[in-house]
Amino acid sequence: MTATQDSHDEVPAPERAPVLEAGPGPGEDAYSASDEEEIAARLEALGYLE
Amino acid sequence: MRRLGRERGAQRRRVFVLGLDGTPHSWLRTETAAGRLPNLAALFRSSSVVPMRSSLPSVSSTAWTTFLTGRDPGGHGLFGFMDCRPASHELYFPNLQHVTVPTIWDALGARGKRSVLLNVPGTYPARPIPGVLVSGFVAPSLDRSVHPPRLLARLKAMGYRIDLDNWAARGGFEALETDLFTTFERRAEAIRMLLAEEPWDLFVTVLTETDRLYHFLWNTMAAGDERAVDLFHRFHARVDELAGWLFDTLPDGTELIALSDHGFAAERTDVFTNAWLRERGYLAFDTSEPKGLAAISPASTVYSLDPGRFYVNRSGRRPRGSVPPERAGEVVERLVRDLADLRDPATGELAYGRLLRREDAYHGPFAPAGPDVVLTLRPGYELKGSSAARSVFGPPGDGLGGMHAADDAFLCVRGATLRDGPYDLHDLAPTILELLGVEPEGLQGRSVLAPAAVGATVGAVEVGR
């Protein structure tokens, strides 16, 4: 087995690699609690979240 | 006969984009063929007009973010109106702060070009951009929706509204009718103000009032109800008048694109995908009346978010995840097999359109965070992600009568010949950049313009009938 193959084998499989997710980190929310209520109400009015 | 902008020598290149949220290609064709919407009909006669595929899923925040970034959700990270927080099953509402890849205004700004965006869904909170940004749905208030801040007082003074009062509109015809026209007229006033006062190379405005009318009255209109049909005609006549005014007013040399982000269809049956997962033994909750996915049982192997997004409940990803990574593939395969049975018991029809695995639907750095399986909507069957629902099938909610359609968006490019399809929303950013003479970099989409047509004289073209 070559060095290159050894290195390649050490790359974590996609399932085990950290998954890059969009979304807020701690304390990064753009919305206040009342904002979230307002958004939820708007989405529910259009049939989402039901 | 006209020539595309890059052959116009010293004329300033500009692109104006008119978005009609949710307006179906098929319906527009019917209306213009019937002699209504004369200004749009005239535009279509000198344009290429084609059906276009929406994003996966076909909801406005995902769709317009796809438009703005030239990337599918795997490339920009927004997979719906709501998603699970990282390392949690708690839901949150993704917004512009979570879009970390460059947008079209970034690409243009880097070349000294100025963008004006008014009411594009998914653009809240407004952030400083090279130009003007007035956020669209689901912005909860105008105060954080406007850049530069000097425009906030002007918009408030004209009574500008981000959206209808959708609960009132859902509750009654008169409230919908009044709010529809009021919101539209104030939007039109804002368009006229920004066109008159702000310099721009790219101007994008989206009319979301169309989508609201369709959500509440598409079924009624399609059934031939005279009052609903009349309201559709009167409202779209006003949209057509605005379009005609724009066509007459835009500076010479402006390239014009009109489009929708998805189509619409009658909604007959709601399909509750989490109820189906519970019936099939994929999903359980730790409480008898779950208010959301936060109460998911760690024994669950799959959960869903609307519309039609299915996620393997992986261990190591979220605290209540249970499926080891090496077993995720077999769970997906079993799910795919079982979804072949997700059929309306009344008709035997499949309750969705197409089924796509994640690797076929999403591309880019955020793709691993996307759903393992995503379903497109089949006209008539609205896919819902409620955690509380216990029945798989049910009637549409009171006051609702219209659902998004995945493959019936429209795209109109004035005076252009298009390459062969299919056409996708992520193709628009590279198209706009090409029209403005900016080389696209790192985008997933590709320009819809036919290479031979760029810079060539073209005649009136209509395709896609």
Report domain extents, chain B.
Answer: 2-266+404-458, 267-400
Q: A26 at the B interface (CB within 8 A)?
A: no
Among the partner-chain residues A25, A38, A47, the one whose CB lies closest to the CB of B382 is: A47
**Contact call for A41 and B369, based on CB within 8 A:** no
Neighbours of B59 (CB within 10 A): 25
- The whole-chain average pLDDT of chain B stands at 94
Q: B190 at the A interface (CB within 8 A)?
A: no
Indicate if the pLDDT at residue A11 is higher than 50.
Answer: no
**Contact call for B92 and A23, based on CB within 8 A:** yes
Indicate if the pLDDT at residue A21 is higher than 90.
Answer: no
Query: How far from the centroid of its chain's Cα atoms is residue B192's Cα?
Result: 24
Indicate if the pLDDT at residue B460 is higher than 50.
Answer: no
Percent of chain B with pLDDT over 70: 95
Query: Which of 1.10.3720.10, 3.40.720.10, 3.40.50.740, 1.10.260.40 would CATH assign to domain B2-266+404-458?
Result: 3.40.720.10
- pLDDT, position B10: 55
Peptide bond between residue B422 and the one before it cis (omega within 30 degrees of 0): yes
Indicate if the pLDDT at residue B5 is higher than 60.
Answer: no
ipTM of the predicted structure?
0.90
Q: Which residues does B381 contact at the CB level (< 8 Å), separation at least 6? A: B268, B269, B270, B271, B344, B349, B351, B352, B403
**Contact call for A20 and B99, based on CB within 8 A:** no
Q: Which of B231, B216, B256, B251 is nearest to B402 (CA)?
A: B216
Indicate if the pLDDT at residue B102 is higher than 50.
Answer: yes
Among the partner-chain residues A17, A22, A45, the one whose CB lies closest to the CB of B166 is: A45
Q: B199 at the A interface (CB within 8 A)?
A: no
Among the partner-chain residues A16, A29, A45, the one whose CB lies closest to the CB of B325 is: A16
- pLDDT, position B459: 37
- pLDDT, position B291: 87
- Measured distance CA(B42)–CA(A35) in Å, rounded: 43
**Contact call for B369 and A22, based on CB within 8 A:** yes
Q: A15 at the B interface (CB within 8 A)?
A: yes
**B375-418: per-residue pLDDT in tens?**
999 999 999 999 999 999 999 999 999 999 998 999 999 999 99
**Contact call for A30 and B95, based on CB within 8 A:** yes
- Is residue B181 within 8 Å of residue B161, measured between CB atoms? no
**Contact call for A45 and B170, based on CB within 8 A:** yes
Q: Which of B251, B247, B262, B266 is nearest to B208 (CA)?
A: B262
Confidence tier at A20 by pLDDT (50, 70, 90): confident
CA of A38, closest CA in chain B: separation in Å?
6
Among the partner-chain residues A13, A36, A42, the one whose CB lies closest to the CB of B163 is: A42
